[in-house]
Amino acid sequence: MPRRVRKPLRLREMTADERSELTRLAGSRKAEARVVERAAVLLALADGEKPAHIARRLGVSRVTVYGRLRRFNRVGLRALHDEPRTGRPATYTADQKAEAIAAALTKPADLGLPFGCWTLDRLAAYLSEQKGIPIKRSRIDELLQAEGLRWRTQETWFGARVDPAFAQKKRRSKNSTPARRPAR
């Protein structure tokens, strides 16, 4: 089987604007490091330097140098920046997130629920059972924090006391607790 002969890769002709932008970026101290490195690779190629030498001098692989060359030939200066990447799709839609936040901001009594305040567990159960949004309590907490809302721990008393005779029954918590001295 005969060996395939590849045509050598060449950098396409650069415009004056492209060359000045690459020069500016290759010497930049404020641009992202990867953009500076990519600009330096392309400038070296434009100056006629061999890819293997560029790779050794800049501490990158030859594959990287050839990749930058191909991409610049294809898309121009956009080759300096990362291409959009795919990722894991969003777990919850914007509507589901809005529903969770709206529920957290609504009093449970207004929704016909038998308790006076939300806990993360109650909110997660409500969203799952009533709204069909299977969301974990940790994710609810993240959503609320992202909206600038702070979750409070449940308070001890809400509105009227549970026991109407509480005032008559109440005593000091411990006999060992010293009585408070009266103010002067």
What tokens were used for 133? Answer: 């949004």
CA atoms within 13 A on the CB side of 118: 24
Instruction: Name the more confident of 176 and 62.
Output: 62
What percent of the chain stands above pLDDT 70?
A: 85
pLDDT for 173? 65
Q: Per-residue pLDDT averaged across 86-106, rounded?
A: 90
Assess whether pLDDT exceeds 70 at residue 157.
no
| pLDDT at 95 (0 to 100) | 93
Chain-centre distance for alpha carbon 24: 31
Q: Note the maximum CA span of the chain.
A: 107
Sign of torsion, CA 175 177 182 184? positive
pLDDT tops 70 at residue 161: no
DSSP 81: S
Q: Residue 85's pLDDT band (boundaries 50, 70, 90)? A: confident
Model confidence pLDDT, tens digit, residues 32-61 = 999 999 999 999 999 999 999 999 999 999
pLDDT greater at residue 64 or residue 174: 64
- Rounded average pLDDT over 55-69: 94
What is the average per-residue pLDDT within 71-93?
A: 90
Segment 129-148, tens digit of pLDDT: 999 999 998 999 999 998 88
Contact predicate 68/83, CB 8 Å: no
Q: Rounded to an integer, what distance in angstroms lies between the CA atom of residue 89 and that of residue 67?
A: 28
Report CA-CA distances (Å) from 26 to 61, 74, 99, 129, 157.
18, 20, 48, 57, 64
Mean pLDDT of 104-129: 90
What is the Cα–Cα distance from 50 to 42, expressed in whole angstroms? 11
Question: Which amino acid type is present at position 179?
Answer: A
Contact between 142 and 151 (Cβ < 8 Å) = no
Q: Give the per-residue pLDDT at 184.
A: 75
| CB 124 within 8 Å of CB 140 | yes
Provide φ and ψ at 83, rounded to 5°.
-80, 155
Mean pLDDT of 69-98: 91
Tell me the mean pLDDT in the region 11-24. 93
